[in-house]
Amino acid sequence: MPDEASADLSHIAIIMDGNGRWAKQRGLPRQIGHERGVEALRRVVEACRDIGLQYLTVFSFSSENWKRPASEVSALFGLLRLYVKQDLARLKADGVRVQILGKRKGLPDDILKLLDLAVSETSGNSRFTLNIAFNYGAREEIVSACKGLARQVEAGEITSDDITEDLFAGSLWGQGIPDPELLIRTSGEYRISNFLLWQIAYTELVFMDVLWPDFSEGHLESAIQSYRDRDRRYGGLSVDETSS
C-alpha cells in the first residue's frame, strides 16, 4: 500500500457486495460468506487508517435488506454483534471513531444499544472515522432531510430562500462528513444501489470484479491508483484543454 493517501483523497466509500455469491461458489452457507466479509472489512479499515485516510464509509445493511429471508437478516445482525464485541476495543485503541448512518426505527433494542456503544466509546477519537451505513437508504435520507427543512419553514425558523446546497447537506444523516472522492463497488455489479445519492455527485466510481470476501489491500491500492490517474474537472476544463 502507499505510505499515505494523496492530498485530495480523504474519504472512500465502499459498497461491500458479493458475500453470498462467494459462499455459493464454494458450496458454503451464506453465513460463512458474511463472516469472511467481516474479515475483509477488518483488513480494509486497517489499510485505510494506515495510509492516512480520514474517512471510510461502508454500506453494511441496506433498508432494502429487510426483504431478505428473516434467517439471513438475523445472521447479519449477529455479525454486527460479533464485530462490535470483538473489534470495539481495538478500534478505540487505534484512534478510530465510529459513526452510524441510517434510521433507528425497526432495529432490535440490543442492536441499537450496540450501535450507541460503538459511537459513544469512540467519540473522542480523531485519527480516522469509520462510517457504517446501517439500515440505510439514500432516498429515505433525502426525504428525511426535506421533511426536516419543511418543518423549519413551517415553524418560521427559515424561509424557502434560505435553503441552499450547504444547508440541505447539513440536514442529511451524515452531516459534517465530507463527500467521498472515491466510491468502490465490488462483485462486478455496476449499480449505486441507493447509496449516498446526494454525496456522490462528483465522486469517482470504481467497479471491481472481485467478491467482497476476497477484497485485499492490493485491490484497495488498485482502486486508489485508478482514482489518481483520473482528471477531476468538476465541470471545468482539463489541464490540457486550458493550455491549448
Name which of 31-40, 62-71, 230-239 the model is least confident about: 230-239
Distance, in Å, from the CA atom of 118 to the CA atom of 85, rounded to the nearest integer, reads 9
Is the torsion defined by CA of 184, 186, 190, 192 positive or negative?
Answer: negative
Phi-psi group of 235: left, alpha or beta (phi > 0 → left; psi -120 to 50 → alpha; rest → beta): left
Q: What is the pLDDT of residues 33-55, one digit of tens each?
A: 999 999 999 999 999 999 999 99
Catalytic one of 3, 19, 50, 65? 65
Q: What is the pLDDT of residue 167?
A: 96
Alpha-helical regions (H) of the chain: 19-25, 30-50, 70-93, 109-122, 138-154, 165-169, 217-228, 239-243
**Average pLDDT over every residue of 133-161:** 97
**Known active-site residue 94:** no
Share of the chain above pLDDT 90, in %: 82
Q: What is the pLDDT of residue 241?
A: 60
Q: Is the pLDDT of residue 67 over 80?
A: yes
DSSP 8-state code for residue 8 = T
- All three cell numbers of 14: 465502499
Of 149 and 1, the structure prediction assigns the larger pLDDT to: 149
Query: Where does 11-137+177-227 sit in CATH, by number?
Result: 3.40.1180.10
Name which of 52-66, 68-82, 129-143 the model is least confident about: 68-82
**Known active-site residue 110:** no
Residue 161's pLDDT band (boundaries 50, 70, 90)? Answer: very high
Residue 159's pLDDT band (boundaries 50, 70, 90)? Answer: very high
**Average pLDDT over every residue of 1-27:** 85
**Average pLDDT over every residue of 103-121:** 94
Q: Is the pLDDT of residue 71 over 90?
A: no
Please report, for the chain, the start and end positions of each structural domain, with discontinuous segments joined by +. 11-137+177-227
- All three cell numbers of 38: 467481516
Share of the chain above pLDDT 70, in %: 92
Q: What is the pLDDT of residue 240?
A: 63
Q: Is the pLDDT of residue 117 over 90?
A: yes
- All three cell numbers of 95: 484512534
**Average pLDDT over every residue of 204-219:** 98
Q: Is the pLDDT of residue 244 over 90?
A: no
Q: What is the pLDDT of residue 8?
A: 84
Catalytic one of 3, 8, 17, 179? 17
Q: Is the Cβ–Cβ distance between 204 and 181 less than 8 Å?
A: yes
